[in-house]
Structure formats: structure tokens, C-alpha cells
């Protein structure tokens, strides 16, 4: 059964895009995966395809505008496909029916015809409370909340969880929280460790056991593309391997 998972937090620079991309790469080793870039910056599009976002004419905006994904899916490999994004997505509100109670179901609706083809559909949400965030959550079965271990990201955590609760109540009663994934800015910093401990105290089992430590190689992957050909690559991805295994177990159990 297909599982749709979104990655979000209403703050930028917390690892959403990197996590979405690496999770897709790892899952696609054995599963069929579709990634939907809902951020107009197009960083996930570039990370996975190696191409500038403006090279894509058929994007998620066109898919939503014409209510059809047929020409908007880019095949990256046999098991990994992408619906890219560019600046056009900022116009998304102009193609939604403001008089319809189902306006935020548009992404769920256009994914429905292709949903059975994939094992996982991953959504990279933008770092703000926007139409893209709301339609992404409305289409999701699960959401992963990103938490960078710094104060502003911690403050944004409650806001994002409240947004998820509103979407669950009004638009998508099936939405579940897969968990909170912590990304350590500095594993040796007492502040980072303090925030991680506080989140685990406040949210207990909701927090993933896996913790992603910031490594320079992970930053390079955003430029070079994701690969596991070298020992350094595999070491950089190991914590993500642990997270993906934990994520799969959680969504299967629930």
C-alpha cells in the first residue's frame, strides 16, 4: 500500500530538503518512490536531478493547474521519479477554487491516479505556512517534523504541530505524525544536547531515536547529488539509513 510522507517545519534551513532527498534515494534502492517538490526554491529538484529548476517546464504547478500529473513526472531512475518545482508555484493560489471546501485536496486528488504505482510518495514542504504546506499536509498519510537543535527551530516546532492538528481536524482526518527528527548542528555543543533532551522529555516516543549529525559531506551532496559510491559517502549516509529504517517501521506499524 502506498504511503505519502511529508517533511516539514515552518522554518528554513533545518534539513527538510536534504532529508527528503536522501530518504528518497535510500528508499528507491528497493522501493518505487515519487518525490514531489513543493518549495519554489527548487533545491530538492536540483539535488535529485542535477538540473536548474528553470529547465523544467512541466512542474507541480502545471500538475495542479491542469489537475493532471501525466506530463509532469520526471524519471530519474527506474525506481525514483520526481515532480519538480520552480518559481511558478508561488502562483498556486490563483488556480485553486477559493469557493470550494475541497480546495486544499487538490494535491491528494492529482496524486490519486498514480498513487498505486509507487510504494512511497515523499513531499518536501516549504519553510512557511503557505498553500503548498496546507495542500501537502492534506495529501499526507504521515508527516515528519524536522527539528534542528537551535532555539528558533525549537520554537517553530509547536507552531508546526498545531498546523498539523488544524489540517487533521478540518481537511485530513487520516494525517498522522510519523515523528520528530532531530538534526544536530553541533553534536558537541551543550546547547544542542540540551534542546535534544528537552524535546525528548516533552514529546517522548514521538521523537525518532535516530539523530542526524551535521557532516560536511552531507552539505556537498546537495551540490554534487546524492551518491553512496565511496566510503565517505556511505559513512555520511549511515545515520539516514538508521532513520529510514525507523521511519519504515513506524509507518508500517501504524
pLDDT at position 34: 98
pLDDT at position 254: 55
pTM: 0.93
pLDDT band at residue 245 under the 50/70/90 scheme: very high
pLDDT at position 90: 84
Least-confidence region, from 17-26, 122-131, 179-188 = 179-188
pLDDT at position 170: 94
Least-confidence region, from 139-153, 218-232, 236-250 = 218-232
Q: Looking at per-residue confidence, does 30 or 41 come out higher? A: 30
Q: Is the pLDDT of residue 12 over 90?
A: no
pLDDT band at residue 216 under the 50/70/90 scheme: low
Task: Extract long-range pairs of 161-164: CB within 8 Å, 24+ residues apart.
Answer: 163/10, 163/129, 163/133, 163/134, 163/137, 164/137
As a whole number, mean pLDDT of residues 135-149 equals 94
Assigned superfamily of 3-253: P-loop containing nucleotide triphosphate hydrolases (3.40.50.300)
The tens digit of pLDDT for each residue in 62-106 reads 999 999 998 999 999 999 999 999 888 888 888 887 777 788 999
> Could you state, in order of their start, the residue ranges of all structural domains in the chain?
3-253
Pick the closest to residue 86 from 111, 51, 60, 115 (CA basis): 60
Percent of the chain with pLDDT over 70: 96
Q: Looking at per-residue confidence, does 232 or 250 come out higher? A: 250
Amino acid at each position: 500500500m502506498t504511503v505519502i510522507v511529508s517533511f516539514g517545519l515552518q522554518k528554513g534551513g533545518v534539513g527538510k530538503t536534504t532529508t527528503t532527498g536522501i530518504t528518497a534515494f535510500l528508499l528507491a534502492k528497493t522501493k518505487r518512490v515519487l518525490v514531489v517538490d513543493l518549495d519554489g526554491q527548487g533545491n530538492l529538484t536540483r539535488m535529485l536531478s542535477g538540473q536548474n529548476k528553470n529547465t523544467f517546464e512541466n512542474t507541480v504547478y502545471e500538475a495542479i493547474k491542469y489537475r493532471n500529473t501525466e506530463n509532469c513526472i520526471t524519471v530519474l531512475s527506474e525506481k525514483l521519479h520526481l515532480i519538480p518545482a520552480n518559481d511558478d508555484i508561488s502562483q498556486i493560489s490563483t488556480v485553486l477554487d477559493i469557493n470550494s471546501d475541497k480546495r486544499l485536496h487538490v494535491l491528494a486528488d492529482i496524486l490519486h491516479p498514480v498513487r498505486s504505482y509507487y510504494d512511497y510518495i515523499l513531499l518536501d514542504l516549504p519553510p512557511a505556512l503557505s498553500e503548498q504546506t496546507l495542500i501537502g499536509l492534506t495529501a499526507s498519510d504521515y508527516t515528519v517534523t524536522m527539528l534542528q537543535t537551535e532555539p528558533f527551530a525549537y520554537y517553530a516546532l509547536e507552531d508546526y504541530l498545531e498546523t498539523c492538528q488544524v489540517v487533521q481536524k478540518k481537511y485530513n482526518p487520516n494525517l498522522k505524525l510519523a515523528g520528530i527528527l532531530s538534526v544536530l548542528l553541533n553534536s558537541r555543543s551543550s546547547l544542542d544536547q540540551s534542546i535534544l533532551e528537552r524535546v525528548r522529555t516533552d514529546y517522548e516516543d514521538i521523537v525518532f531515536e535516530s539523530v542526524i549529525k551535521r557532516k560536511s559531506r552531507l552539505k556537498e551532496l546537495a551540490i554534487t547529488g546524492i551518491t553512496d559510491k565511496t566510503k565517505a559517502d556511505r559513512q555520511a549516509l549511515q545515520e539516514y539509513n538508521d532513520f529510514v529504517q525507523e521511519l519504515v517501521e513506524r509507518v508500517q506499524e501504524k
